[in-house]
């Protein structure tokens, strides 16, 4: 029999639950892992039970406890819990999938409002005067990278490919290869020549002033400043450039499965959002950067 701690004690995951949670999080981006892990910890602290004892009533109670949050936040948190419960049941670790009856808040898909035009992206790239930062912005867009992926990119991940090149994005258990346009590859080679001239050329491609990896917050500031410099009066973030990559590549005829593979989406459903968000309507080589 499982002893339920008092409401004053943070529950956290029991050992069996902790293993299941980590297995569920595997292959997701570091940013997603952090957010989902946080969501699950809050849920477990609320119910005070192991996952195998969670009921539909517990989920409904938790959903009501989140009623003060914005619909998008509630939907994300409840979706994460429901995904974990379904995953655990599919593996046979949980006796039932008690999450499926839970209705998620309806959140309008405003992805279309966060897709920059090709002209805006070109302005953001070309008006960035710092070579390192310009290459960073170009790569975020041209390869459709996540912030964590561009921060973790190392020189060993670059390889020539015909008259251009490619990069290998290394996840916790998987890796994917993204082909680059000639212009993006040439800018990376320019940075590499400078890195090899000042050191052995190993380590992160994008270094901080102290020589380590760039922090995600620094990448956000670089992108936001570049957009402002280009006169793009929108709250542009690195994710906007990733969104733009997908939408523009699809507009130019890139097959859906190629964009999915390039972005590292686990399901084509995620990539299909970009098709549905467009009024008309590796993928980096379909772009004009």
Rounded to the nearest integer, the mean pLDDT of the chain is 82
Bigger pLDDT: 16 vs 280: 16
Span 8-39, pLDDT tens digits: 344 456 777 889 999 998 877 777 888 899 99
Q: Which of 53-62, 98-107, 169-178, 206-215 has the highest mean pLDDT?
A: 53-62
CA distance 149 to 154: 10
Bigger pLDDT: 24 vs 7: 24
| pLDDT at position 3 | 42
Q: Three-class SS string for the chain? A: CCCCCCCCCCCCCCHHHHHHHHHHHCCCCHHHHHHHHHHHHHHHHHHCCCHHHCCHHHHHHHHHHCCCCCHHHHHHHHHHHHHHHHHHHHHCCCCCCCCCCCCCCCCCCCHHHHCCCHHHHHHHHHCCCCHHHHHHHHHHHHCCCCHHHHHHCEHHHEEEECCEEEEEEECCCCEEEEEECHHHHHHHHHHHHHHHHHCCCCCECCECCCCCECCHHHHHHHHHHHHHHCCCCCCCCHHHHHHHHHHHHHHCCCCHHHHHHHHCCCCHHHHHHHHHHCCCCCHHHHCCC
- The pLDDT confidence band at residue 262, using thresholds 50, 70 and 90, is confident
Bigger pLDDT: 20 vs 172: 20
- What is the β-pairing status of strands 158-161 and 164-170? antiparallel
Span 129-150, pLDDT tens digits: 999 999 999 999 999 999 989 9
- The pLDDT confidence band at residue 4, using thresholds 50, 70 and 90, is very low
Bigger pLDDT: 281 vs 288: 288
| pLDDT at position 6 | 40
Bigger pLDDT: 86 vs 4: 86
Bigger pLDDT: 120 vs 171: 120
The pTM of the whole model exceeds 0.75: no
Place of tokens 């670059």: 158
Q: What residues have CB less than 8 Å from 32, skipping those under 6 apart?
A: 25
- The pLDDT confidence band at residue 231, using thresholds 50, 70 and 90, is very high
| pLDDT at position 126 | 93
């Amino acid at each position: 029999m499982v002893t339920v701690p008092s409401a004053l004690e943070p529950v956290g995951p029991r050992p069996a639950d902790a293993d299941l949670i980590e297995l569920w999080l595997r292959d997701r981006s570091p940013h997603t892992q952090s957010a989902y892990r946080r969501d699950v910890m809050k849920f477990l602290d609320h119910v005070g039970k192991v996952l195998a004892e969670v009921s539909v009533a517990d989920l409904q109670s938790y959903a009501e406890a989140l009623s003060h949050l914005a619909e998008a936040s509630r939907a994300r948190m409840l979706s994460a819990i429901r995904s974990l419960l379904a995953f655990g049941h599919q593996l046979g670790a949980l006796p039932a999938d008690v999450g499926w009856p839970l209705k998620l808040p309806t959140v309008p898909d405003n992805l279309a409002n966060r897709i920059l035009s090709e002209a805006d992206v070109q302005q953001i790239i070309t008006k960035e005067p710092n070579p390192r930062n310009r290459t960073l912005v170009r790569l975020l867009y041209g390869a459709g990278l996540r912030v964590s992926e561009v921060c973790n990119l190392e020189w060993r991940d670059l390889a020539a490919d015909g008259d251009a090149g490619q990069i290998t994005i290394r996840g916790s258990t998987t890796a994917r290869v993204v082909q680059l346009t000639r212009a993006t590859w040439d800018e990376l080679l320019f940075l590499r020549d400078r890195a090899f001239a000042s050191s052995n050329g190993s380590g992160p491609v994008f270094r901080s002033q102290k020589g380590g990896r760039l922090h995600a917050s620094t990448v956000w500031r670089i992108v936001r400043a570049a957009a402002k410099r280009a006169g793009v009066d929108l709250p542009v973030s690195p994710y906007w450039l990733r969104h733009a990559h997908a939408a523009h590549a699809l507009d130019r005829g890139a097959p859906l499965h190629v964009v999915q593979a390039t972005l590292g989406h686990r399901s084509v459903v995620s990539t299909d959002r970009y098709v549905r968000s467009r009024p008309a309507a590796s993928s980096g080589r379909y772009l004009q950067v």
